[in-house]
Each structure stands twice: as structure tokens, then as C-alpha cells.
Amino acid sequence: MNRKLIAGNWKMNGLRADLSIIREVAAGASPSLQAPELLLCVPATLLGEAVQAATGAALKIGGQTCQAADKGAFTGDISAPMLAEIGAHYVIIGHSERRTGHGETDEMVAAQARAAVNAALTAIICVGETLEQRASARTLEVIEGQLAGSLQGLKSPASFVIAYEPLWAIGTGKVATPAQIGEVHAFIRAFLVDRFGPPGRGVRILYGGSLNPANAPEILPIQDVDGGLIGGASLKAGDFLAIYATASALTV
């Protein structure tokens, strides 16, 4: 069984006053390598102070996106080396909000993922279908295309994590059924094994659609669900640590 990863995505939320949340989460992170890994991906403005707040704890800090280039005339962007230098360990790549709101294509996502890996960051590569695509029975076709395009140029399956985020279940309160989640995660696993061989079994696959303390006990035990990419619930230390506790109980 892969070590579970409980990852929070604060999105465009968080001011210095919210560093207290990071400290509370850090205090609840177990240093045991048998426990799930705990991660918070915060806005760029908080990265440095978040790293400091988590110093000495098992909590890791990550970025929410990165530019494919290491440096250059990209006003407002942040590069993978910048994230690594400030102390980040992970970076989210190709989140649905970046794909839809910023026009990021699979090709762009792949370039960003390669940049992250080259900077010794672990890339959390997001894939997922819209409600229309699911309704037209195209879910697996869409996922396959996104995986094929977004993993271009990545050689080591140990350098990235996949997050399945059904777009229709993000921020809507809707959650895919266990059967739906299991089907997609099994498909992703099969794709990874076919592409990378046996090492593909070691790639962690996260569920990223409105995971919360109430549904975590039902979702996290599903085969090939190796953790979660959590939005709103990660902004409340109690909720985030409750999900972490559920994941921890599964490793006992």
C-alpha cells in the first residue's frame, strides 16, 4: 500500500493572520514514516512564512502552480526554482481552475511538470472531467487524453503524484460515488502501469473532489485512492486534521 498523502490547496485564500492555521496543522502532523504525509499548498505570498511556521514539523509546504521557464519576462509568474529555493517540496500542476481559467493545455501542464521535477519538486498533476463529459460517457477517454498529454517527458514515476478532480464536484458540495471514484482511480493506475511498468504502482493517486471529514471515511479506503487534494476543508485546521486522522487510521 502506498503511503497516503493528505494535501491541502488553499487556492487564493490566506493572509498572515492565517499562519496560525499552519502552526496548528503542523502541531498535529506525525513524524512517523508510517503515518500519512501531510502537505499544505499556500499562496505564493505566504510560502516563506509558511515554511518557517512548519519548521521542525512533519508538515510540508507546496506551491499552487509554476511557470515552465526557470526565469524570464513572465510578469506575475513564479518559477519552480523559486519555489524550491523558498523551501517548497511540492507544487500543484494543471489544476482544473488553471486549465479552465488560464487556458493551460496538456502541453503546458507537461512543461510545467518537467520544470518542477528538474527543480527537485514533486509535481501534483491534476486531471478530471466536466459534468458534460461525464454525462456523455467520455470520462475515461478524457482522463486518458489528459494523462497522455500531461505526462509527456516525465521519466520517473517517483517524481509526480496524480490528482483526480472531477470538475463537477469541486466547490459544489457534490461528491462522486465510491463506484465512480474507484473506476477512475483503477483506470489511472492501469494507465500508469502500462506506461511505466511496475513502478507505476507506486505513483500516488489522490481524490480531489470536495473531500471533507464526513465523506473521508468512505472515500479514503477505496482501492487506489492514496489520499486527497483538499480545498475548502484545508482552510480549517480541525477539518483538515480530521481527514488526516481518518487516513492515519487506515495505516494501522
Active-site residue numbers? Answer: 95, 165
Query: What three-state secondary structure class fits 42?
Result: coil
Q: What is the DSSP letter of 48?
A: H
37 burial via Cβ count (<10 Å: 0-12, 13-18, 19+): buried
Contact 74, 82 (CB under 8 A): no
First-to-last C-alpha distance (Å) of the chain:
12
Contact 243, 213 (CB under 8 A): yes
Q: Phi, psi at residue 2, to the nearest 5°?
A: -70, 145
Render 37-49 in DSSP notation, one character per residue. Answer: EEEEE--GGGHHH
The H-assigned helical ranges of 106-205 are: 106-118, 131-135, 139-150, 178-196
Q: How far apart are CA 59 and CA 22, in angstroms?
A: 9
CB atoms within 10 A of CB 43: 16
CA 168 to chain centre: 17
CB atoms within 10 A of CB 222: 15
